[in-house]
Amino acid sequence: MSDKKTITFALMDPPYENARSTTALRLINIAAQRGYNVNVFAYEGAVGLPFTKQSPHPNAVHGHDADEEDHPLPHVWIEAIAASAEAAGGKLDWINCGLCVDERGVHEALDFVRRGSPADLWQWAESSDNTLVIPTK
């Protein structure tokens, strides 16, 4: 087996709702920065993570405009992780569950995000060095 590892992650939580999403992206970022090939299968609400219509907003309670609020946008983080992977000699491959996307209407995703089904997760799990499923509660 080559030194370049391939690790698959399965995510289910939507953005902005649970620390699991943040931890998952931290893990994916670590693997990407090592130059690993990283597969992400987004299921259920996790298909909203690379949704490009997430937008910054002001916060009147804090008295911040949009720039001062600097609200985190997961799709921006994911794009940065993909760039880190490429710079380190690896690749971030991301598949959104197609039916989950249709149900939620989150079709506008980052360019490299592909549409797929749980069968893709099975194939990735078969071909990867390891797989971590991060289930929703």
Partner 1 sequence: MAKYLLIESRDPFDSNDVANFYEMASGLIREGNEVTLFLVQNGVLPARRSGASPPLTSLTRRGAEVLADDFSLRERGITEDRLAEGIQPSALDIVVDHLANGSKVIWH
Q: Where are the beta strands (DSSP E) in the chain?
A: 6-11, 37-42, 91-97, 113-116, 130-134
Q: Does 91 bind partner 1 (CB under 8 A)?
A: no
Helix axis angle for 19-33 and 74-87, nearest 10°, is: 20
Q: Does 89 bind partner 1 (CB under 8 A)?
A: no
- Residues 23-82, interacting with partner 1 (CB under 8 A): 23, 26-27, 30-31, 34, 36
Contact of 51 with 110, CB cutoff 8 Å = no
The footprint of partner 1 on this chain (CB under 8 A) covers a number of residues equal to 18
List of long-range contacts for 125-129, beta carbons under 8 Å, 24+ apart: 125/8, 127/6, 128/6, 128/7, 128/8, 128/39, 129/1, 129/5, 129/6, 129/7
Q: Which member of 15, 17, 20, 122 binds partner 1 (CB under 8 A)?
A: 20
Give min distance, CB of 39 to partner 1, in A: 12
Name which of 28 and 100 has its Cβ closer to partner 1. Answer: 28
Name which of 33 and 117 has its Cβ closer to partner 1. Answer: 33
The span of 22-30, 54-62, 81-89, 116-124 binding partner 1 (CB under 8 A) equals 22-30
Q: Does 127 bind partner 1 (CB under 8 A)?
A: no
Residue type for position 42: A
Among residues 67, 65, 97, 77, the alpha carbon closest in space to that of 27 is found at: 77
Residues near partner 1 (CB under 8 A): 5, 7, 19-20, 23, 26-27, 30-31, 34, 36, 129-130, 132-135, 137
